[in-house]
A and B are shown apart, each in its own frame.
Chain A
Amino acid sequence: MRHVFTFAVAPILLLVVGCAKAPTDKLAAAEQAVTEARTAGAADYMAEDFAKIEGMLANAKTEIAQQNDKVAVLRDYEKAEQFLVAAQTESARVMGEVGKKKEEMKAAAIQAHRDAQAAVKTAQQLVAKAPVGKDRAALEAIKADVRGLNASLTEVAAALEAGDYKAAQSKAKAIQDKSHSVSAEIQSALAKTGAAKGQKSALAKKK
Chain B
Amino acid sequence: MSLTTTVRAALSIVAMTWWLVAGLSACVQNAPPELLQAVEALDRQLVEVQGAEFAPEEYARFVDRWVAVKGRLLAEEDVIHWPWEADPLVTDLHELQEDGRRAAATAAQRKEAKRLEAQARLSVMEQRLRVFDGLIDQMGSRVVLGQRPIETEVLVSQARSLLEQGLYARSLRAVQEASRLLEVQSALLNAELGRYADASKVEMWRRMAQRTVEWSRAHGAAAIVVSKADRLLTLYRNGRRAVSYPVRLGFNGVLEKRYQGDGATPEGQYWVIKKRDRGQTQFYRALLLDYPNSEDRRRFQLARTAGAIPAESFIGGQIEIHGKEDMFLSQTLGCVMLDNREIDAVFEATAVGTPVTIVGAMNVTNAVALALAGIERVGEDQDAEGADVQDVVEASAVEGS
Indicate whether A148 sits within 8 Å of B253 (C-beta atoms), given known contacts A83-B67, A166-B167, A173-B161: no
Residues of A within 8 A of B145 (CB): 144
Residues of B within 8 A of A171 (CB): 154, 158
Q: Which residue of B lies closest to A50 (CB)?
A: B52
A89 to chain B minimum Cβ distance, whole angstroms, is 13
**C-alpha gap A83/B74 in the complex (Å):** 11
A4 to chain B minimum Cβ distance, whole angstroms, is 39
**C-alpha gap A39/B30 in the complex (Å):** 39
A118 to chain B minimum Cβ distance, whole angstroms, is 16
**C-alpha gap A127/B250 in the complex (Å):** 19
Is B50 located at the chain interface by the 8 A CB criterion? yes
Inter-chain contact A48/B46, CB cutoff 8 Å = yes
Inter-chain contact B252/A149, CB cutoff 8 Å = no
Residues of B within 8 A of A139 (CB): 251
Inter-chain contact B263/A136, CB cutoff 8 Å = yes
Question: Which of A51, A167, A178 contacts B63 (CB under 8 A)?
Answer: A51
Is B185 located at the chain interface by the 8 A CB criterion? no
Is B147 located at the chain interface by the 8 A CB criterion? yes
Question: Which of A47, A83, A148, A166 contacts B148 (CB under 8 A)?
Answer: A148
Is B68 located at the chain interface by the 8 A CB criterion? yes
Q: Report the interface size class on chain B.
A: 35 or more
Residues of B within 8 A of A177 (CB): 157
Inter-chain contact A55/B60, CB cutoff 8 Å = yes
Is A22 located at the chain interface by the 8 A CB criterion? no
Residues of B within 8 A of A174 (CB): 154-155, 157-158, 161
Residue with the highest number of chain A CB atoms closer than 10 Å, among B52, B143, B328: B328
Inter-chain contact A59/B71, CB cutoff 8 Å = yes
Is B140 located at the chain interface by the 8 A CB criterion? yes
Residues of A within 8 A of B147 (CB): 144-145, 147-148, 151
Is B75 located at the chain interface by the 8 A CB criterion? yes
Residues of A within 8 A of B158 (CB): 170-171, 173-174
A83 to chain B minimum Cβ distance, whole angstroms, is 6
Is B3 located at the chain interface by the 8 A CB criterion? no
Question: Which of B75, B149, B154 contacts A152 (CB under 8 A)?
Answer: B154
Inter-chain contact A175/B154, CB cutoff 8 Å = yes
Contact with A along B233-277 (1 / 0, CB 8 A): 000000000000000101111000000000100000000000000
**C-alpha gap A19/B199 in the complex (Å):** 91
18 chain-A/chain-B pairs, Cβ below 8 angstroms:
A52-B66, A58-B64, A79-B71, A79-B75, A82-B75, A83-B67, A86-B71, A136-B250, A136-B263, A136-B332, A137-B142, A139-B251, A140-B251, A144-B143, A166-B162, A170-B162, A196-B326, A200-B326
A interface residues, Cβ below 8 angstroms from B: 47-48, 50-52, 54-56, 58-59, 78-79, 82-83, 86, 131-137, 139-141, 144-145, 147-149, 151-152, 166-167, 170-171, 173-175, 177-178, 192-193, 196-197, 200
